[in-house]
A and B are shown apart, each in its own frame.
Chain A
């Protein structure tokens, strides 16, 4: 497994590197800021990015979003000291599949890598707690009725693929339909579920367990 490590703190990078090497992974490059991370990612084409959110020049979320635009997009594990949904949702929307709290990294990193490699999301327990809390709050305000059952099978497929961070074009290719058809499905399902952007689609999918 080839990994790229991006964190502006040497002390954290050192800790992560030794942890990853213990697990038998190869760190192909280390970046100390967001722009360097993007450059190194394009240069080394790693399988997995481990990104700190708070970085100078370009934050981790932006780096993840740019990495998603590459042909063979790497998996992304996001590190952050914040267990708040403003960070979590944006990280997920930018293509991160795992979100780890920094102080729990040494325990969560290995299982997170395993999960992401096999196409599953992973969250630190404190982050899961936030998501559950958020889900409960949403249930309270939106009521218990859930419109998921209103979706057609095709719309459910589109929802899942979009939530996995794929673009309209990718979804179209995978489902063997036109891009405009995907866009129609997308706007229909967003209307049915009262969602307004990609971040909300991802969050909804996480809540529903569609992508976990």
Chain B
């Protein structure tokens, strides 16, 4: 079974992309979570800290306030002090309640603090009933023995709570750090996994690509070989066809036509026979002569059509001139042949190539392009032999260009001589067939002959 590599590669690459996307999203979420947690912890800690500071300052301030009251010997300010102290106490109670709501653990500490503070505040209750003398005599003792120890106790508890709070923060921060470390290791694992998967996908794809590339290279070489063989075959076919035509033409010319000539002379001899001859025989001989003449002409035209003897007897120019004369007489079109250069020493393959090309182009102009006027130019100058046949016809169908056996034959002949064929619109808006051949001589260097 054939392995569908693209399927595997797509799956692998897709999985890789999904993995990367998911891990990126997950890590972004996780990082945000960790930072939020840290923020929350810090805020909570600061709030606790603020409350505790306030509590302490209230306690301290209330102590100062009580001392001020005790130093004030007038009585009329007593309700005012009492009221202010009650305010301190209220604020203090609210702060403690807030603290309780903030603290999740160590509620017993808060309880103790509350009790200690209640005790502290309660200490001040009898104070406002004191007389001036009582204030003067008892205040110092009272402050030293009642207020200060209670205040210190309350503050110590507050201190404890603060320490607990700090410890709590450290512990929770450590927890966050631990979480972060886990997250980092998760991320690292994900990265390795992605890399590994990517590597597997990449190796698979590269190996498969190599296989495919090698296979396509082999296919290309095969196709090229096939094309070469095809070309060789085509060229052999063209050469064989030409050889066959030549042989057949020669056979018709050298054998059939000569036998007919002999036959014709024999008939003439019968005709000239002296003595009484039957009128029927005379008529029959005359008829036979006509038949032989007709056959003779047919054989001659056939031989010329296969391959004009002028091409081998007198060369390219004579053959083309004959062909153009014959063509004009046959089709009644206007053909102008212009030849420039000396073609007398042109080798046989070149003569045949150019002759067949012009013949094919003229035939196409009449058969397909419905041309009325055709110009044939053959120019041999320098190291180049240029042939062009332009008509005023309807032009050539590009689709037919390669299917036409005749044009293919021309291409094969021209390629064999290292030349080029171009077919396009000409100056007369019809079709132009243009051929360029390197002049024989430079050929052996310019182009390696096709084997076979």
Q: Which A positions have Cβ atoms within 8 angstroms of B? A: 8-9, 11-12, 14-16, 18-19, 22, 53-54, 59, 81-82, 84-87, 90, 102-107
Interface string of B308-325 (1 = CB under 8 A from A): 011001100011011001
Q: Which of A19, A53, A90 is close to B268, meaning CB atoms less than 8 Å apart?
A: A19
CA–CA, A87 and B254, complex, Å:
17
Of chain A, the residue at the smallest CB distance from B268 is: A106
Chain A interface SS verdict (over half):
helix
Q: Are B314 and A90 in contact (CB under 8 A)?
A: yes
Q: Are B254 and A54 in contact (CB under 8 A)?
A: yes
Q: Are A11 and B262 in contact (CB under 8 A)?
A: yes
B269 beta carbon closer than 8 Å to chain A: yes
B227 beta carbon closer than 8 Å to chain A: no
B413 beta carbon closer than 8 Å to chain A: no
Q: Which of B259, B261, B304 is close to A105, meaning CB atoms less than 8 Å apart?
A: B261
Q: Which residues on the A side are within 8 Å of B269 (C-beta)?
A: 15, 18-19, 22, 106
CA–CA, A121 and B321, complex, Å:
25
Question: Provided the pairs A54-B253, A54-B254, A81-B300 are in contact, do residues A14 and B313 lie with their beta carbons within 8 angstroms?
Answer: no
Interface string of B259-277 (1 = CB under 8 A from A): 1111011111100100000
Q: Which of A18, A54, A59, A86 is close to B322, meaning CB atoms less than 8 Å apart?
A: A86
Q: Which residues on the B side are within 8 Å of A105 (C-beta)?
A: 261, 264-265
Of chain B, the residue at the smallest CB distance from A137 is: B325
B292 beta carbon closer than 8 Å to chain A: yes
Q: Which of B253, B258, B268, B292 is close to A12, meaning CB atoms less than 8 Å apart?
A: B258
Q: Which residues on the B side are within 8 Å of A53 (C-beta)?
A: 313
Given A106-B265, A106-B267; 13 other pairs, CB 8 A cutoff: A11-B262, A12-B262, A12-B265, A18-B265, A22-B272, A54-B313, A81-B296, A84-B322, A86-B310, A86-B314, A86-B321, A87-B313, A107-B268
Q: Are B262 and A14 in contact (CB under 8 A)?
A: yes
Q: Are B264 and A103 in contact (CB under 8 A)?
A: yes
**How far is the CB of A58 from the nearest CB of chain B, in Å?**
12
B293 beta carbon closer than 8 Å to chain A: yes
Q: Which residues on the B side are within 8 Å of A22 (C-beta)?
A: 269, 272
B59 beta carbon closer than 8 Å to chain A: no
**A-B CB proximity, top 3 nearest:** A106-B268, A15-B265, A11-B262
Q: Which residues on the A side are within 8 Å of B296 (C-beta)?
A: 81, 102-103
Q: Which residues on the A side are within 8 Å of B310 (C-beta)?
A: 84, 86-87
CA–CA, A102 and B263, complex, Å:
11
Q: Which residues on the A side are within 8 Å of B264 (C-beta)?
A: 102-103, 105-106
Most chain B beta-carbon neighbours within 10 Å: one of A14, A86, A103: A103
Q: Are A11 and B293 in contact (CB under 8 A)?
A: no
CA–CA, A86 and B297, complex, Å:
17
Of chain B, the residue at the smallest CB distance from A107 is: B268
Question: Provided the pairs A84-B310, A84-B322 are in contact, do residues A9 and B262 lie with their beta carbons within 8 angstroms?
Answer: yes
B99 beta carbon closer than 8 Å to chain A: no
Of chain A, the residue at the smallest CB distance from B259 is: A11
CA–CA, A85 and B323, complex, Å:
12
Q: Which residues on the B side are within 8 Å of A18 (C-beta)?
A: 265, 269
Question: Provided the pairs A22-B272, A54-B254 are in contact, do residues A82 and B309 lie with their beta carbons within 8 angstroms?
Answer: yes
Question: Provided the pairs A19-B268, A54-B253 are in contact, do residues A103 and B261 lie with their beta carbons within 8 angstroms?
Answer: yes
CA–CA, A103 and B301, complex, Å:
14
Q: Which residues on the B side are within 8 Å of A102 (C-beta)?
A: 257-258, 261, 264, 296
Question: Provided the pairs A16-B265, A81-B300, A86-B310 are in contact, do residues A103 and B321 lie with their beta carbons within 8 angstroms?
Answer: no
CA–CA, A104 and B268, complex, Å:
10
Q: Are A81 and B314 in contact (CB under 8 A)?
A: no
**How far is the CB of A45 from the nearest CB of chain B, in Å?**
27
CA–CA, A53 and B268, complex, Å:
22
CA–CA, A86 and B308, complex, Å:
11
Q: Which residues on the B side are within 8 Å of A81 (C-beta)?
A: 253, 257, 261, 296, 300
Q: Are A86 and B318 in contact (CB under 8 A)?
A: yes
Q: List 16 A-B contacts (CB under 8 A).
A: A11-B259, A11-B262, A12-B261, A12-B262, A15-B266, A15-B269, A19-B268, A81-B257, A81-B261, A82-B304, A84-B325, A102-B258, A102-B264, A102-B296, A103-B260, A104-B293
Of chain B, the residue at the smallest CB distance from A14 is: B262
**How far is the CB of A154 from the nearest CB of chain B, in Å?**
33
Q: Which residues on the B side are within 8 Å of A14 (C-beta)?
A: 262
**How far is the CB of B294 from the nearest CB of chain A, in Å?**
10
**How far is the CB of B209 from the nearest CB of chain A, in Å?**
66
Q: Which residues on the B side are within 8 Å of A19 (C-beta)?
A: 265, 268-269
Question: Provided the pairs A86-B322, A103-B296 are in contact, do residues A59 and B265 lie with their beta carbons within 8 angstroms?
Answer: no
**How far is the CB of B131 from the nearest CB of chain A, in Å?**
163
Q: Are A15 and B261 in contact (CB under 8 A)?
A: yes
Q: Which residues on the B side are within 8 Å of A106 (C-beta)?
A: 264-265, 267-269
Q: Which residues on the B side are within 8 Å of A54 (C-beta)?
A: 253-254, 309, 313
Most chain A beta-carbon neighbours within 10 Å: one of B269, B300, B321: B300
Question: Provided the pairs A15-B265, A86-B322, A103-B261 are in contact, do residues A59 and B313 lie with their beta carbons within 8 angstroms?
Answer: yes
Of chain B, the residue at the smallest CB distance from A11 is: B262
CA–CA, A105 and B266, complex, Å:
11
Q: Which residues on the A side are within 8 Å of B322 (C-beta)?
A: 84, 86
